[in-house]
């Protein structure tokens, strides 16, 4: 158990809809990262937050947005969903925003868009 | 541009044999590398890390070798077990661009 909690574990929705994925980082971790993993693909970095502020941005679509709240949990919002958005979405956390140190990953939220 | 790539998408080994998973990088400014293991249906898990001032680091049954001259990183798993079957990713200095990974399959 990494200490990172993601909900929901599974989500099935239709094209055009909007969903919110939630992540609770490990206790004490200030940084939260979001990744997308399509079937048999690598991890695609989406965005990072540190202590409530956006720290780094990857290949995140404009239809997607995220935020980190004062209690440090984070939400990833996916809107105008397309079939290609079906993927595993992982959240990871770390203590700091430094360039070293491991990331602790949650078990992921599996999104299926029909 | 910067990239972290893996030489082979799949690797199949016999149980008990040693496994070597390779990773290449292009940015010589890298100073820190991490290997992650992702089992089916789970999130990636940290295996081992290495800083660029080191050539080798050993963990439990795993060794990471760093060759800065050719910008190459390898993960060696000794006496590979069925539980080692997973996808392995390398990450450069929290670059967060993991690449596709190498899928290791251990045959009994």
The residue among A23, A60, A103 with the most chain B CBs within 10 A of its CB, best to mutate, is A103
pLDDT, mean over chain A? 92
DSSP codes, B36-77: EEE-TTS--EEEEEEETT-SEEE-SSEEEEEETTTTEEEEEE
Q: Name the residue in chain A with its Cα closest to that of B94.
A: A99
Instruction: Looking at the complex, report in whole angstroms how far the Cα of residue B101 sits from the nearest Cα belonging to chain A.
Output: 6
Interface check B49 vs A, CB under 8 A: yes
Neighbouring C-beta atoms of residue B16, cutoff 10 Å: 11
Phi, psi of B40 (to 5 degrees): -55, 125
Q: Name the residue in chain A with its Cα closest to that of B98.
A: A43
Among A57-61, A98-102, B33-37, B56-60, whose mean pLDDT is lowest? A98-102
| Nearest-CB residue to B43 (from A42, A101, A107) | A107
Q: Are A13 and A112 in contact (CB under 8 A)?
A: yes
pLDDT: is B74 or A96 the higher one?
B74
pLDDT single digits (tens) A9-25: 999 999 999 999 999 99
Q: Are B98 and B5 in contact (CB under 8 A)?
A: no
Enter the tokens of residue A91: 């959240």
pLDDT single digits (tens) B63-80: 999 998 888 899 999 999
């Amino acid at each position: 158990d990494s200490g990172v909690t993601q909900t929901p574990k599974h989500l099935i929705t239709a094209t055009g809809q909007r969903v919110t994925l939630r992540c609770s980082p490990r206790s004490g971790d200030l940084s939260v990262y979001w990744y997308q993993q399509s079937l048999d693909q690598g991890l695609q970095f989406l965005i990072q937050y540190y202590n409530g502020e956006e720290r780094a941005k990857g290949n995140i679509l404009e239809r997607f947005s995220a935020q980190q709240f004062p209690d440090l949990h984070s939400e990833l919002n996916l809107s105008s969903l397309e079939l290609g958005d079906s993927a595993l979405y992982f959240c990871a956390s770390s203590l700091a925003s430094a360039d070293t140190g491991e990331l602790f990953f949650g078990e992921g939220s599996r999104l299926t868009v029909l | 541009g910067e990239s972290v790539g893996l030489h082979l998408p799949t690797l199949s080994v016999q149980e008990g044999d040693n496994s070597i998973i390779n990773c290449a990088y292009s940015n010589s400014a890298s100073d820190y590398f991490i290997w992650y293991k992702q089992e089916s249906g789970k999130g990636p898990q940290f295996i081992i890390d290495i800083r660029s001032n080191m050539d080798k680091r050993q963990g439990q049954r795993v060794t990471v070798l760093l060759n800065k001259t050719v910008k190459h990183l390898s993960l060696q798993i000794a006496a590979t077990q069925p539980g080692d079957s997973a996808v392995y990713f390398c990450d450069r200095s929290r670059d967060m661009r993991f690449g596709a990974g190498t899928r290791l399959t251990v045959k009994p």
